[in-house]
Chains A and B, each alone.
Chain A
């Protein structure tokens, strides 16, 4: 009973052609594709452009995997990359290289995310050293969360697959993934590949509370991979392997689940009075072309989970996405995305008016 209605709705919205194609194709999808694609179908497409050769690297400097990207209030762009060493670069708003931050830093081992807080401090989340590192705008280390294991203890054995993680501790992470803050400056860390929890610290880095254990029940997490807060202090967690976004209140009490936008590899909430939530159903980083055929798109949503539109698909050329790992959405219609497998950051200009006749 639902399908005719949504079909009619999408025709009215002017996207019935692509909707019809999606319906026609679904019968041909493999079971793996049916499982991997987002539940939401017939979502309006948002037209967009990608700026060619956006980041200008100096000679002999290269990006590796484009893991983290974020902008500050001046529009400067920070890229956290898995190069031969994990490195953090700053570019100006035109994409011109400005400087490197944290060369050879003790906490830089395996990049995961970079975020810039409202005071323009730069936060790097390193999945290899198990640390969250706060730099002030000048690039000096200002605060540290977590601690890199001591090298003197010797080489760590790789944990057996599916081996349970040791109990989580307030001040230690196990492959953390992302960081966010509320208006009071409280710090939220998604932790991560090893632990399955979200941790809340006060602005001075003192532990307040944590939530989550490994599992698929509401409030449980299976690879919390991305985190964002809204202006009211609610916490949105990209629960990647559970293929859902979970919303918690500021005390980390479970509130809601959005499970129709695929696997949320990267979340971003825009600033301003009307906030939007972006979520990337990224194609897998194992280059699986079967799954890539039905994933890779980014969703634009209202904070309540209503889908506004989507854009993009998996691919290696400009304007396609190669496993988007972080989204910056300081400007609602000018996004930056970093991609793992393309070693690239793209600057996207969304043109939602083009399709919707100027309506917002």
Chain B
């Protein structure tokens, strides 16, 4: 077969454009505060899956720590433990633990703070979204923790076993229950959006009272389909941004789930965040998987997808990132990141 010079030139040109696009993203200068979080004696963070700040600047960390314990029951096996929620003052001083021994704390995924300073936790193991008021009392729960685990099967299910687990894997099944949910966001009216998740492949929308309204999405790579929707954010207009991690794209939907657009040039979105204020920015982390030291940079974008700059890379030192799992960007130039593999939260001060 003869070579097609036109094709080769086109491919070469395309590659060159791609390279140029990547290398032309300006670097944003930044610092990281050393030893930010001051933990009391005998208290340790595990994987810092979730980090968020409230309106006072207090820092909430939802961490995978200790061990999930399986207890032998009469005829079933029950699990508990493995995740904890801590609150710190803006200067990093430890304040308190919230939800100690909580039924729904099994495997931390994220924590988010809503505009009223309520604290929302998404637990991937318990299949629950839990809303605490600012004092730390449980106000509302979404989903239900499976009653027990089947041993040795790795999937939930069985009578009275995986009863709280919603949806067959990847079916995009609608309904009130989750299958390894990942994140939560709200619009100005208080509607709740849950990315769900590892097991299911859909966004679920609830009203502010937790009544299921609708869901959209199924497993796949077409518009409106998902392959591990890992993170979610809503802008001031109520548009919904979904980090479609394994498809390496951010998908944007209107408030009712109609597909609007997608951004495919910023890697695999492990954590996304939309800043508050009149001019909103979108941050997304192309985190390194825990198996590699590739990628790791965080992008700052306009909501329309224009990339403004990037910062950071994978690593274990200060200012480097170990699988960033959640970003807090209440202040667009003072960003908090929770890292899985470094068991750490960093406060990043940007100098754009």
Contact = CB atoms under 8 A, between A and B. Distances in A.
B49 to A, nearest CB: 10
Interface residues of B, number: 37
Main secondary structure of the interface of A (DSSP, over half): loop
Interface string B63-87: 1111110100000000000100000
Nearest to B339: A144
B149 A106 contact: no
Interface residues of A, number: 27
Interface stretch (B3-11, B40-48, B225-233, B254-262): B40-48
Contact of A170 (B151, B180, B291, B315): B291
Interface string A161-188: 0000000011110000000000000000
B42 A100 contact: yes
Interface in B141-158: 149, 151-155
A71 B42 CA distance: 21
Contacts of B286: none
A104 B44 contact: yes
Contact of B70 (A155, A171, A204, A206): A155
A21 interface: no
Contacts of A207: 293
A134 to B, nearest CB: 9
B154 A155 contact: yes
B107 A151 contact: yes
Given A144-B316, A204-B316, A206-B293, A150 B46 contact: no
Contact of A103 (B44, B125, B315): B44
Among A153, A154, A157, A170, chain B packs the most CB atoms within 10 A around the CB of: A154
Contacts of B315: 204-206
Contacts of B67: 106, 109, 151
Main secondary structure of the interface of B (DSSP, over half): loop
Among B44, B106, B153, B293, chain A packs the most CB atoms within 10 A around the CB of: B44
B65 A104 contact: yes
B290 interface: yes
Contacts of B153: 154
B293 A171 contact: yes
Interface string A120-158: 000000000000000000000101100100111111010
B206 interface: no
Contact of B342 (A107, A144, A154, A171): A144
A105 interface: yes
Contacts of B20: none
B66 A106 contact: yes
Contact of B317 (A104, A152, A204): A204
Interface string B177-193: 00010000000000000
Contacts of B292: 170-171
Contacts of A144: 316, 322, 341-343
B235 interface: no
Contact of A143 (B66, B198, B316): B316
B107 A103 contact: no
Nearest to A139: B41
Contacts of A152: 106-107, 124-125, 180, 198
A66 to B, nearest CB: 22
A233 interface: no
Contacts of A105: 44, 46, 65
Contacts of A172: 290-291
B42 A103 contact: yes
Contacts of B316: 143-144, 204-206
A4 B313 CA distance: 65
A206 B152 CA distance: 36
A205 B154 CA distance: 32
Contacts of A204: 315-317
B290 A147 contact: yes
A150 B70 CA distance: 15
Nearest to A154: B154
A102 interface: yes
B152 A157 contact: yes
A154 B77 CA distance: 12
Contacts of B149: 154-155
Nearest to A134: B316
A151 B125 contact: yes
B344 to A, nearest CB: 8
Contact of B291 (A106, A141, A171): A171
Given A155-B152, A205-B316, A102 B44 contact: yes
A152 B83 CA distance: 11
Interface in B235-294: 290-293
Contacts of A169: 291
B65 to A, nearest CB: 5
B42 A106 contact: no
A314 B241 CA distance: 65
Contact of B290 (A103, A109, A157, A171): A171
A229 B139 CA distance: 57
A106 B342 CA distance: 12
A104 B343 contact: no
A104 B66 contact: yes
Contacts of B154: 153-155
23 contacts: A104-B66, A105-B46, A106-B44, A106-B65, A106-B67, A107-B46, A109-B67, A141-B343, A144-B316, A144-B322, A144-B343, A147-B290, A150-B64, A151-B64, A151-B67, A151-B82, A152-B107, A152-B124, A153-B154, A154-B153, A171-B290, A171-B291, A172-B290
Given A106-B46, A147-B341, A205-B315, 6 more contacts: A103-B42, A104-B66, A150-B64, A152-B107, A155-B149, A204-B315
Interface of A: 100, 102-107, 109, 141, 143-144, 147, 150-155, 157, 169-172, 204-207
Interface of B: 42, 44-47, 63-68, 70, 82, 106-107, 124-125, 149, 151-155, 180, 198, 290-293, 315-317, 322, 340-343
The 5 lowest CB-CB distance pairs between A and B, nearest first, are: A106-B46, A154-B154, A152-B107, A205-B316, A151-B68
